[in-house]
């Protein structure tokens, strides 16, 4: 039996176009399950999916709903309007397609209403007719989705509300990354921290500031880091007095202050810091991973020296036991690998491998401290 993608590719295409639209993902899952089970609810699932796509498109352009309880036709016409496929008579050049689509919808609905349980499997002849019409409806729905998606490809959505992923706008992302300068600071108010990020193009005094709590930042960007920080916070048992159990042992701790560190990788041609004795071993490790350690980039920077400098810059005390410091080391070293031409997936793999290598070859923290003092 053919799968849904081979018969009607635009349903999956729509789901992948808006991966951050949860309702669309749910309808696609239900439609796929219904199709595999050869269920007669296919018509309703196709309709629901198309209606969800139309609503998503309206949201992309901040367009209102056509009514409080719009029909499929009303939603289609409303979605086609911002795509430039409608005139005063309705959907330009699509009237017959839309008309046939909705007539088929009504006919199938009437068939089930009139025949009741007979059309749902008790009569093989009527059941086969209904199944054929359902597949026809699936193809009609796929054609409608193809029209919507192809028209949408030529339009720019409202960037403030779009559900398209960040990766859909590489040109804009690169422009911002190249032109915008960033400064980070923290504010303390009644024991709570707020991160203050300042973004500027040109003059710093015209910077735009965004204030966000650490919890909100972690929850929105890295859910695993949020959970990790939550577990560490629970371990010190800081909690409001009104919800504190009578037998709770409350440890009062002073909020840790991070030392200053650079948010960009150290790319250098010469490193003579405390980790310099590791240079030969690191060179062998990189060679074993298939890297060309003799290659250089701008200003003659070498990957071995750059990695040692970056690790030195971002390695803190107890880094072996602190997941946050390990994460910082992994991210900073990944940026070095990217600078030296590695693709994203390979850079991610190499940064993890490097962290494992460091845990074996870097001396104890006390030895590092002594070496840094000499």
For the chain, how many structural domains are there in total?
3
User: Do the domain assignments include residue 67?
Assistant: yes
| 210 falls within a domain | no
Residues 234 and 281 in one domain: no
**Shared domain check, 19 and 56:** yes
Integer Cα distance of 315 and 184 in angstroms: 20
118 lies in the same domain as 9 = yes
- Interatomic CA distance for residues 102 and 152, integer angstroms: 22
Structural domain includes residue 247? yes
Domain that holds residue 340: 263-374
Would you say residue 126 lies in a domain? yes
pLDDT at 127: 53
Same domain for 245 and 295, yes or no, is: no
Residue 313 lies in a domain: yes
Do 30 and 100 sit in the same domain of this protein? yes
Q: What is the pLDDT of residue 5?
A: 79
232 & 287 share domain: no
DSSP state, residue 311: H
Is the residue at 179 inside a domain?
no
Task: Based on the fold, state whether residues 233 and 303 are members of the same structural domain.
Answer: no
CB 135 within 8 A of CB 34: no
Would you state the pLDDT for residue 328? 76
332 and 251 inside one domain? no
**Shared-domain flag, residues 272 and 350:** yes
Judge whether 327 lies within some domain. yes
Residues 111 and 230 in one domain: no
| Long-range Cβ pairs for the range 226-232 (8 Å, 24+) | 228/323, 228/324, 229/324
The pLDDT assigned to 281 comes to 93
Q: Which pLDDT score is estimated for 53?
A: 92
Mean pLDDT for back-to-back runs of 10 residues, the chain (374 residues): 79 88 87 78 84 90 88 84 65 60 59 47 48 75 88 80 78 84 79 82 76 87 82 63 47 44 62 90 92 83 90 80 77 85 88 90 56 39
Output the DSSP codes for 161-199: T--S-GGG-HHHHHHHHHH-EEEEEEEEETTEEEEEEEE
Does 305 share its domain with 287?
Answer: yes
Inside any domain, residue 243: yes
Q: Which of 104, 122, 153 is the last residue of a domain?
A: 153
Output the pLDDT for position 160.
80
CA torsion angle 135 137 138 139 (round to 10): 90
Give the domain-ending residue among 257, 281, 309: 257
Q: Are residues 249 and 270 in the same domain?
A: no
Domain end (from 134, 153, 172):
153
């Amino acid at each position: 039996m053919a799968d849904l993608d081979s018969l009607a590719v635009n349903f999956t295409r729509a789901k992948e176009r808006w991966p951050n639209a949860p309702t669309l993902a749910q309808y696609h899952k239900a439609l796929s399950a219904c199709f595999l089970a050869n269920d007669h609810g296919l018509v309703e699932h196709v309709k629901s999916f198309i209606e969800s796509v139309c609503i998503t498109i309206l949201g992309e352009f901040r367009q209102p709903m056509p009514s409080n309880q719009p029909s499929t036709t009303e939603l289609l016409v409303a979605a086609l309007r911002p795509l430039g496929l409608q005139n005063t008579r309705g959907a330009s050049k699509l009237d017959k397609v839309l008309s046939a689509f909705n007539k088929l919808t009504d006919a199938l609905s009437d068939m089930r209403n009139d025949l009741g349980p007979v059309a749902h499997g008790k009569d093989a002849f009527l059941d086969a007719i209904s199944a054929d019409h359902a597949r026809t409806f699936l193809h009609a729905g796929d054609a409608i989705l193809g029209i919507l998606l192809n028209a949408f490809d030529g339009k720019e959505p409202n960037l403030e509300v779009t559900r398209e992923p960040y990766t859909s706008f590489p040109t804009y992302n690169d422009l911002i990354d190249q032109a915008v300068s960033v400064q980070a600071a923290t504010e303390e108010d009644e024991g709570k921290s707020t991160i203050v990020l300042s973004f500027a193009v040109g003059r710093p005094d015209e910077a735009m500031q965004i204030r966000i709590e650490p919890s909100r930042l972690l929850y929105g960007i890295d859910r695993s880091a949020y959970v990790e920080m939550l577990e560490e916070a629970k371990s010190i048992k800081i909690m409001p007095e009104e919800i504190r159990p009578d037998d709770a042992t409350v440890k009062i701790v002073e909020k840790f202050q991070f030392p200053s560190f650079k948010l960009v990788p150290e790319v250098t041609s010469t490193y003579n810091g405390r980790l310099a004795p590791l240079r030969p071993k690191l060179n062998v490790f990189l060679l074993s991973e298939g890297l060309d350690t003799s290659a250089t980039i701008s200003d003659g920077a070498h990957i071995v020296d750059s990695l040692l400098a970056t690790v030195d810059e971002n390695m803190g005390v107890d880094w072996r036991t602190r997941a946050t410091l390990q994460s910082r080391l992994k991210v900073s070293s990944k940026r070095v690998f990217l600078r030296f031409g590695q693709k994203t997936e390979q850079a991610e793999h190499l940064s993890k491998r490097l962290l494992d290598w460091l845990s074996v070859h870097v001396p104890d923290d006390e030895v590092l401290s002594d070496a840094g003092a000499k």
